[in-house]
Structure 1
Amino acid sequence: MRKIFILLLLVNLLFSEEIGELTFSNDYKKVMAQAKKENKRVYMLITSSSCRWCRKFESTTLTDWTVAEKLEGKYLLLHIDRDNDYFPKHLKHKRVPRHYFLTPDEQVIYTFLGYWNVEDFTSYVDDVDWQYSDKLKKGIIK
């Protein structure tokens, strides 16, 4: 039993990473399946290991408690390395950091590019909430 617990812990560590107070997964298929099951939206951050703006966003904006408060509970968190992790080709990823907010059915609610400070990023998250409500109301997304 103890060996199984340790094995499960190691598997969880392989497929997730902690940034500040937030825990991200890097398994696109698993997160999207969980989103459908829990009917939750997904915040997907696409980065690259060679991107200094990605590291700055991770070490400053994503470590702030107000960002954690905005994202936690409302979104499942997905952090994809464009060079190593799987995600659908139709999601643009040539320039990073790229931010996607997705429905449980993988529809794009909102996307934007670049490094953003805490104030600007939380403003974008508020815009996503508005966009989601508006697109639902208009029947653009389900």
Structure 2
Amino acid sequence: MKKLILFALMSTLLFGEGYKEFAKEMSYETNYETALNKAKKENKNLMVLIISNFCPWCTKFEKKTLTDKTVDGALKSKYIPLIINKEEGNFPSYLTAPVVPTVFFVKTNEEKVFHESVGFSSKAEFLNLLKQLK
């Protein structure tokens, strides 16, 4: 029984930190205030991805959609990307996501959501969304 509990704890730690590796590889911010300040400096809006531990759709969205070079280029040309694990907190209450993954597009100067997308999106769907939000 102790081994099972230890395995569960280790899995939580490993899976819970996986998004930070993704963020580092993709140059996503993981801190709201840092991302907000960067967005203001660069005159861009925020794209905030809310994920959680053990979310297969979050991982699929990261690996199948967001790592695509075309998606990444289109996203970073207009937005500062921020990824937040909702189980860790440390983000404003207006970014509450009952379902993950949820993507919020935020007007930086107002700190106000202007579009919300819930669930997995394919490359084509997400690129189409980015084009629509111009």
TM range (shorter): 0.7 to 0.9
Which one-letter code corresponds to 2:121 in the other structure?
Answer: W
Q: Is the 8 A contact 2:23 2:83 kept in 1?
A: no
Which one-letter code corresponds to 2:128 in the other structure?
Answer: S
Deviation, 1:38, is 2.5
The alignment's C-alpha RMSD in Å is 1.8
Distance across 2 between alignment mates of 1:32 and 1:20: 17
The answer to whether structure 1 residue 113 and structure 2 residue 118 are counterparts is yes
Q: Structure 1 stretches of 5 or more lacking a match?
A: 1-15, 130-142
Distance across 2 between alignment mates of 1:57 and 1:109: 21
The answer to whether structure 1 residue 53 and structure 2 residue 57 are counterparts is yes
Q: Structure 2 stretches of 5 or more lacking a match?
A: 1-19
Distance across 2 between alignment mates of 1:85 and 1:24: 17
Q: Is the 8 A contact 2:49 2:103 kept in 1?
A: yes
Deviation, 1:113, is 0.2
TM-score by length of 2: 0.77
4+ residue segments displaced more than 6 Å: none
Aligned residues, how many? 114
Partner of 1:27: 31
Partner of 1:62: 66
Measured against aligned partners, the alpha-carbon deviations of 1:92-121 in whole angstroms (never above 9, x if no partner) come to 211100001111121212111000110001
**What is the SS of the residue equivalent to 1:94?**
coil
Deviation, 1:36, is 2.0
When you count helix as a share of all residues, which structure comes out higher? 2
Partner of 2:17: none
Distance across 2 between alignment mates of 1:19 and 1:34: 15
Q: Is the 8 A contact 2:23 2:30 kept in 1?
A: no
Q: Is the 8 A contact 1:70 1:122 kept in 2?
A: yes
**What is the SS of the residue equivalent to 1:99?**
strand
Q: Is the 8 A contact 2:23 2:29 kept in 1?
A: no
Partner of 2:100: 96
Partner of 2:15: none
TM-score by length of 1: 0.73
Distance across 2 between alignment mates of 1:36 and 1:127: 22
The answer to whether structure 1 residue 123 and structure 2 residue 128 are counterparts is yes
Percent identical residues: 34
